[in-house]
Structure 1
Amino acid sequence: METPDSLSAKFEGSFAYFTVKDRLPQILTKVIDTVHRNKNKFLEEYGVEGIEAEKKAISFFSKLRNEMQTDKPILPLTDDQPDTHIWNRYLDYQETLLGKGEQPSWFRSPWLYVECYLYRRVQEGLLSSPPICKFDVFREAKNESFFQSQPAMLALCTDLHELKRNMESLSRDQSRKEFYRLLQVSLWGNKCDLSISGGLDNSQKSSILSSLESLQPFILVDNMESLWNILSKSRDGSTEKDSRIRVDIVLDNAGFELVTDFVLADAILSLKLVSEVHFHGKCFPWFVSDTTRHDFNWTVRQCLAANHKWMSKCGQTWKENLEKGCWVYHENMFWTLPHEYCSMADTAPDLYTELQKSDLILFKGDLNYRKLTGDRKWDFTVPFSQALTTFHPAPLCSIRTLKADVQVGLRPGIGEQLTASEPDWMISGKYGVIQFSPTV
């Protein structure tokens, strides 16, 4: 099958067009506002140098916003980070694709590339404004979203305590149902995405647990049974006694979603479905609310310090899991590159080799889905495994609520029916998938 076109803002009226025209400039405006509001903090910490850095960063981001809004050519990076040459080589590659001396630009290039490029340029703007280089322009929004979601988190932590209290008496079928339940919690946790909301409050204010049954019809692809079949082997004794079952979770948003991922990871360890969980986060602030190492550790500390018995107990357990090594956090700069995942084996062979050690990889969220499928205008019925092209390090599953106009692996007619009845079904976050692909 011929590879379809990349999604791009050149297609007027598309979600990519709306993103580059409206959403991304809004996000940059919030970045500028955040830097300016922290002016006094920079003055206190760094003196006059801090004020100069604030001015320099704001000037950089204002210029960047203008470049985007006026469809200027994509510029090479000028900093000296370990990934700079990879980004600039990728820009050269984009130029060769266009040919005829045409330059890649914000509205004419693939949406996946320019959106990733925006966040890398935000990083460049901070790096070129010492001494505020390490300032996370999205941290305030992430922290606020965490605290806004606290009632829903308390309900989850209490529910997890109840599950663990009764774990010894659970039958195989009851364990399976609990696994399915917490997978769905992790799925709907993906609704809380600050890049989609433009950095506006998008927290989970009420418990998601009571809504699971009513949300079930909105799961368009439900491959939970395939995941259970992989993980239940260890519980049933059909794997060798000494062999360790490893699950990798490629994280998406900090805040409520991250807590749903922690709860799922805790439960599958406690249910003896896995022996280790490996988490993969971003090296620097990315797509507003994506999880960095700081966000990961901060969330564990916040839960531990919570004035709530079961949330604090969860924080303690998660801290111990990290200390014991049954939870492991990884960083790799590949996750903050613009590449589709089918190029991982060539671009980041160390990461590909690491993922090959996994028994099951869970990819959370929309950006991961876009990179898995190449962010292209696939037909709705193209099999998921086919859209992955050459990316098959281990059995994998995408867990996402739909917030970008790419979706594969649907039954014939479903995509067309939804398009006719709900034109924005692919971008509203109302629908979700738990979509599995075995190793090919």
Structure 2
Amino acid sequence: MRGAFPYGPGQRQALDELLKSCTEGTIGPLPSGAPDRERWREWGLPDRVGRPWYDVPWLWSESYFYRRLLQAVGWFDPGAWQGIDPFRPFKRAEPDAPETDAELAALDALPTLPEPERACALLHGSLWGNRADLGFRLSAEGAEAQDPVPALVADDSAALWSQLPPGGAATLVLVADNAGRELVPDLLLIAHLLAEGRAARAVLHIKPYPYYVSDATTADVVDALHRLRAAPGVAGDYARVLWSAMADGRLTVRAHPFSCAPLPYDRMPDDLRAEFAAATLTVFKGDLNYRRLVGDRRWPPTTPFAETTRYFPGPVAALRTLKSDVITGLSPATESALVAAEGRRWRTSGAHALVQVALKWPGAEAT
């Protein structure tokens, strides 16, 4: 990251001090003039100042590290570097890669498929991101590899589609994860749902500032839209759907501060809870969002997904490639097969994914 921009001596020194703090020192406070100082106080910073970084919950320390990194490079401070995303060069490289051209060109085969198959292909593209060739080569024949252990370890797709039938008036909330070649298929899925009447309105939640290197911000959404608009064929058609939907309000972009909170979603503020409660379906993308959704802890893998999300105020879904130890909602047979075939590696290799949905849990909070 240091080589991505010509940072000056002050920024380089601040980055060195942050590194030393993480490896040898303790958690320090935010500057007195930090715009989000009060918010971090509410998120537990005063109780953690002076403690080693590895002596606090991992989710909390990860989030605070990225907040301090932005402080070090001048994101929040008045001056020439204010608002400059330190990760932007890495994010921009993906949409401009030759592989992206091939993936977008594959979209041109979609019109030959029935609508349910197109929807499924785009869902799988969003699920797998840049590992899926956007999922556009799915067909009725051979769509799933016939391996002893399936790539998709949990699949509640039928429940997801039950919330988004054609011709409905659904409001979809999608909580995005990464930028670049993972954000593009998220946008394509939204475009399809709007164009085919599976959603009347969509809300895309992104991060209010750079976070976890690749997480999507508003600038990344704009980059992805421009990349789609420049593409020929079906990709360009979907771009026009998205552009029009943003112009007339059917698609809105939200950057809620809690999206960068070091806390699980059961601690969400009231305004965000009300928004999720009003949605027909809220979809959480990616590994970090999954950890925050179910709680960043070592659940027994067979713990029902609906149980870990029973606090959630409305129907909720997770689209996630497995890249961390946190996992819920597996059948005993699937867990046994994964362990027998791969030991513990299946939890973090990114070779497996899941679609999980919780529509209602007995005794859950009323919406």
- Secondary structure at the counterpart of residue 186 of structure 1: helix
The equivalences for 1:282-321 within 5 A come to: 282-306=207-231, 308-321=232-245
Displacement of 1:331 after TM fit?
A: 1.3
Counterparts of 1:117 and 1:317, CA distance in 2: 37
Structure 1 residue corresponding to 2:289, chosen from 363, 368, 383: 368
* 1:355 is aligned to 2:283: no
Where does 1:358-437 land on structure 2 (aligned, <5 Å)?
Answer: 358-388=279-309, 390=311, 392-422=312-342, 423-437=344-358
Per-residue displacement from partner, 1:75-119 (whole Å, max 9, x unpaired)?
Answer: 222253443222234335755xxxxxx953222221111111111
What is the percentage of aligned positions where both structures have the same residue? 29
Q: Could you tell me which residue of structure 2 aligns to residue 183 of structure 1?
A: 123
Between Structure 1 and Structure 2, the one with more helix by share is 1
SS of alignment partner, residue 345 of structure 2: coil
Tell me if the contact between 2:29 and 2:45 (Cα under 8 Å) persists in the aligned partners: no
Runs (4+) of structure 1 exceeding 4 A deviation are: 92-95
CA displacement, residues 211-232 of structure 1 (integer Å, 9 cap, x when unaligned): 6824582111100000111212
Q: What is the match of residue 144 of structure 1?
A: 93
CA distance in 2, matches of 1:260, 1:65: 35
Q: Kindly report which structure 2 residues correspond to 1:16-415, keeping only aligned pairs within 5 A, or say none.
A: 31-35=1-5, 38=6, 54-70=8-24, 72-78=25-31, 80-92=33-45, 95=48, 104-125=51-72, 126=74, 127-128=76-77, 130-148=79-97, 149-160=99-110, 162=111, 174-189=114-129, 191=131, 206=133, 208-210=135-137, 213-214=143-144, 217-232=150-165, 235=167, 244-306=169-231, 308-344=232-268, 348-388=269-309, 390=311, 392-415=312-335
Aligned partners of 2:281 and 2:316 also within 8 Å: yes
1:281–1:330 contact (8 Å) kept in structure 2: yes
**In structure 2, distance between residues paired with 1:215 and 1:408:** 23
- Determine helix, strand or coil for the equivalent of 1:210: coil
Distance 1:139 1:209 in 2: 27
CA distance in 1, matches of 2:117, 2:358: 21
Contact 1:152 1:207 (C-alpha < 8 Å) held by counterparts = no
Unaligned runs of 5+ in 2: none
CA distance in 2, matches of 1:252, 1:261: 9
- The superposition leaves residues 216-256 of structure 1 with CA deviations (integer Å, 9 ceiling, x where unpaired) of 82111100000111212x63xxx7xxxx3111110111111
Shift of 1:413: 4.6
Q: Secondary structure at the match of 2:3?
A: helix
- Measure, in 2, the Cα distance between the counterparts of 1:410 and 1:86: 36
2: CA distance, partners of 1:93 / 1:377: 26
How far has the Cα of 1:176 moved from its partner? 3.0
The CA RMSD over aligned residues, in Å, is 2.4
Shift of 1:128: 4.6
SS in structure 2 at match of 1:107: helix
User: Based on CA coordinates, which of the two structures has the bigger radius of gyration?
Assistant: 1
Q: How many residues align?
A: 351
Offset at residue 190 of structure 1 (A): 6.3
Cα-to-partner distance string for 1:400-422 (whole Å, 9 max, x where unaligned) = 00011110111115334423431
Shift of 1:64: 0.8
